[in-house]
Structure 1
Amino acid sequence: MRPSTLRALQRAAELTRQNHFSEALLIAEPVILNADEQEGAEIRRWLIDHTNDFIQEGKPRP
């Protein structure tokens, strides 16, 4: 996954934890929609592996 994609997903997780869901979607959606098949699979795996980053308050796990 490209570093810019990872940064966007991490920022979206942070915004979601802060109850800024609309802003999180504005950041994550274009990245997800523009991903090719390979990067899309990596994004899906990252989202599954980091579900708690989106729902827990505080800092994400390393």
Structure 2
Amino acid sequence: MDDAVKFQQLVQFRVPAGLSEAIDAAARRKCQSKSEYVRQSVIGRLDADGVDVRKCAGAA
């Protein structure tokens, strides 16, 4: 994809057994990459927690 957004910051974390596969399955259902699914999920949770991600540098 030529017009894909480039993200510079890498975030890594460990998950319980099976969660990685569950994220893969959910991302496939939404026709998204695993990274995009997790990114959108985190943004949604931050929003629900009252954090304005638009005020953060480089936020989606």
Query: Fold match, TM over 0.5?
Result: no
Q: Which has the larger radius of gyration?
A: 2
The one of the two structures with greater contact order (alpha-carbon pairs below 8 A, sep at least 6) is: 1
More helix by share: 1
Q: TM-score, normalised by structure 1?
A: 0.31
